[in-house]
Amino acid sequence: MITVQKIALFFTIVGALNWGAIGFLDFNFVSTIFSENGAITNVIYSLVGICGLINIGLLITNLEHEDEHIDRKRATR
């Protein structure tokens, strides 16, 4: 599962960098590389969206573990 999470994180970072380039430079790397209205471009955008959802799950899981860790620390004091 950790491999899937790393792949999802990679695609999310690529998506974030692309959105940053769109916002700051008005340049879309994905549509430039894979054509503006191509099927591959849509697949990449969909993949980034799915990976974002995976990372939301990862964030929630990490927050729950952090809460458990804090509770254990408080219990030992």
* CA distance linking residue 23 with residue 9, whole number of Å: 21
Tens digits of residue pLDDT in 40-63: 999 999 999 999 999 888 878 766
Q: State mean pLDDT over 24-34.
A: 92
Burial class of residue 36 in the structure, from the number of CB atoms within 10 Å of its CB (0-12 exposed, 13-18 middle, 19+ buried): exposed
Percentage of residues in the chain having pLDDT higher than 90: 45
Mean pLDDT computed over every residue of the chain: 85
Quick one: pLDDT at residue 46?
94
Q: Is 36 helix (H, G, I), strand (E, B) or coil?
A: coil
Quick one: pLDDT at residue 45?
92
Map out the domains of the chain as residue ranges: 2-76
Q: What is the pTM of this model?
A: 0.69
